[in-house]
Structure 1
Amino acid sequence: MTPLRRLLVASVACAALTATAAQAQRGADGQLNIIYWQAPSTMNPFLSGGTKEVEASSMVLEPLASYDNDGNIVPRLAVQLPTVENRGVSPDLKTITWDLKPGIKWSDGTDFTAEDAVFTWKYCTAPDGGCAQASYFEGVANMEAVDALTLKITFDEPKPFPYTALVGAESPIIQKKQFENCMGAKAPECTAQNFNPIGTGPFVVKEFRANDVITLEANPNYREADKPRFQTVLFKGGGDAASAARSVLETGEFDYAWNLQIEPEVLTRMEAAGKGKVVSAFATSVERILMNFTNPDPALGPDDRSVYKADGSNPHPILNDVRVRKALSMAIDRPLLTEIGYGRTGRPVCNVLPGPEQYASTANDGCLVQDIEGAKKLLDEAGWVPGADGVRVKDGRRLSLLYQTSTNSVRQSFQSLIKQWWAELGVETELRNISASVFFGGDPASPDTFQKFYSDVEMYTNNFSGVDPEAYMAQWRCDDIPGPSTQWQGSNINRYCNPEYDALTVQMSKTADLNERAELAKKMNDVLMQDYVLLPLIYRSGTSAHSNTLGGVRMNDWDSELWNIADWHRVK
Structure 2
Amino acid sequence: MKRISAAVAIAAVGALAISGCAAGGDSDGDSGLVEGSSITAAWNQAFYSMNGNTSFGNATANNNINYLVLDGFNYYDNTPALVKNTSFGSYEVLSEDPLEVKYTIADGVKWSDGTDIDAADLLLNWAALSRALDTPDFDPADFTDPETGEFTDAFPTDVVYFDSGATPTSGVGLVSQTPEVGDDGKSITLKYDAPFVDWELSFASPLPAHIIAEKALGIDDPAEAKQAVLDAIDNEDAAALAKLSSFWNSGFNFTEMPSDTDLVTASGPYMITDYVADQFVTLKANPEYKGDNAPNIEEITIRFIPDPLAAVQALENGEVDIIQPQATADIVTALDGIDNITVNQGVGGTYEHIDLQFDQGKNPENIFSNPQVREAFLKTVPRQEILDKLIKPIAGEDALLRSSQIFVPGAEGYDDSVAANGSEAFAEVDIEGAKALLDASGVTNRDVCILYASNNPRRVNEFALIQQSANLAGFNVTDCGSTEWGGLLGTPGAYDASLFGWQSTSLGVTNSLPTFETGGINNLNFYSSEAVDAAVKSLQTEFDAEKQITLQQDLDKALWADFYGVTIFQFPEVTAFSDRVTNIDPSILAPTIFWNAWDWEVTDGGTAE
* CA offsets 1:415-461 (integer angstroms, 9 cap, x no match): 111122223323222233211xx2113xxxxxx55544612211001
- The DSSP-based 3-state class of the residue aligned with 1:467 is coil
1:332–1:396 distance in 2 versus 1, CA, 3 Å: closer
Between the aligned partners of 1:366 and 1:507, the Cα distance in structure 2 is 23
**What is aligned with 1:439?**
485
**Residue correspondence of structure 1 range 123-522 to structure 2 within 5 A:** 123-124=128-129, 125=131, 127=134, 128-132=160-164, 134=166, 136-142=171-177, 143-147=179-183, 148-166=185-203, 171-180=204-213, 181=216, 183-190=244-251, 196-224=263-291, 227-248=294-315, 250-258=316-324, 260-279=325-344, 282=347, 284-297=349-362, 317-342=366-391, 343-344=394-395, 346-355=399-408, 357-358=411-412, 360=414, 361-362=417-418, 363-364=420-421, 366-367=423-424, 370-373=427-430, 375-381=431-437, 383-384=439-440, 395=442, 397-407=444-454, 408-435=456-483, 438-441=484-487, 448-449=488-489, 451-452=491-492, 454-480=494-520, 490-522=521-553
Checking the alignment, whether the CA contact within 8 Å between 2:380 and 2:434 is kept in structure 1 is no
* Runs of 5+ unmatched residues, structure 1: 1-18, 300-315, 385-393, 442-447, 481-489
- The DSSP-based 3-state class of the residue aligned with 1:430 is strand
CA apart distance, 1:350: 1.3
- Which amino acid in the other structure matches residue 103 of structure 1? G
Checking the alignment, whether the CA contact within 8 Å between 1:40 and 1:212 is kept in structure 2 is no
**What is aligned with 2:52?**
45
* CA offsets 1:258-297 (integer angstroms, 9 cap, x no match): 4x11312432332431243333565642211110112434
- Which amino acid in the other structure matches residue 200 of structure 2? Y
Q: Report the TM-score when normalising by structure 1.
A: 0.79
**Residue correspondence of structure 1 range 7-18 to structure 2 within 5 A:** none
CA apart distance, 1:376: 1.9
Between the aligned partners of 2:298 and 2:524, the Cα distance in structure 1 is 39
- The DSSP-based 3-state class of the residue aligned with 1:90 is strand
* CA offsets 1:56-77 (integer angstroms, 9 cap, x no match): 1111002211111123110125
1:75–1:282 distance in 2 versus 1, CA, 3 Å: farther
Checking the alignment, whether the CA contact within 8 Å between 1:89 and 1:97 is kept in structure 2 is yes
**What is aligned with 1:69?**
78
* CA offsets 1:15-50 (integer angstroms, 9 cap, x no match): xxxx99979631346112122220011222134122
1:146–1:526 distance in 2 versus 1, CA, 3 Å: farther
CA apart distance, 1:98: 3.5
- The DSSP-based 3-state class of the residue aligned with 2:339 is coil
Which structure would you say has the larger RCO, counting Cα contacts within 8 Å and 6 or more residues apart?
Answer: 2
Between the aligned partners of 2:285 and 2:118, the Cα distance in structure 1 is 22
* CA offsets 1:537-570 (integer angstroms, 9 cap, x no match): 1112554332222212221232323221111111
1:106–1:570 distance in 2 versus 1, CA, 3 Å: same
- The DSSP-based 3-state class of the residue aligned with 1:45 is coil
CA apart distance, 1:194: 9.3
**What is aligned with 2:587?**
556
- The DSSP-based 3-state class of the residue aligned with 1:544 is strand
Q: Does 1:108 align with 2:174?
A: no
**What is aligned with 1:567?**
599
Checking the alignment, whether the CA contact within 8 Å between 1:205 and 1:217 is kept in structure 2 is yes
1:515–1:453 distance in 2 versus 1, CA, 3 Å: farther
Checking the alignment, whether the CA contact within 8 Å between 2:451 and 2:485 is kept in structure 1 is no
Between the aligned partners of 2:349 and 2:491, the Cα distance in structure 1 is 20
**What is aligned with 1:312?**
none
- Which amino acid in the other structure matches residue 566 of structure 1? W
Cα RMSD between the aligned structures? 3.1
1:396–1:509 distance in 2 versus 1, CA, 3 Å: closer
- Which amino acid in the other structure matches residue 370 of structure 2? D
- Which amino acid in the other structure matches residue 264 of structure 1? A
Checking the alignment, whether the CA contact within 8 Å between 1:49 and 1:133 is kept in structure 2 is no
The count of residues paired between Structure 1 and Structure 2 equals 501
**What is aligned with 1:3?**
none
**Of 414-423 and 325-334, the range deviating more from structure 2:** 325-334
1:395–1:123 distance in 2 versus 1, CA, 3 Å: closer
**Of 353-362 and 20-29, the range deviating more from structure 2:** 20-29
CA apart distance, 1:104: 2.1
- Which amino acid in the other structure matches residue 253 of structure 1? E
Candidates 102, 116, 141, aligned match of 1:97: 102
CA apart distance, 1:323: 2.9
Between the aligned partners of 1:81 and 1:514, the Cα distance in structure 2 is 27
Q: Does 1:537 align with 2:537?
A: no
* CA offsets 1:399-424 (integer angstroms, 9 cap, x no match): 33212211211011111111222233
* Runs of 5+ unmatched residues, structure 2: 1-25, 135-159, 217-242, 253-257, 605-609
Q: Report the TM-score when normalising by structure 2.
A: 0.75
1:294–1:366 distance in 2 versus 1, CA, 3 Å: closer
Between the aligned partners of 2:291 and 2:443, the Cα distance in structure 1 is 68
**What is aligned with 2:238?**
none
CA apart distance, 1:533: 0.8
**What is aligned with 2:229?**
none
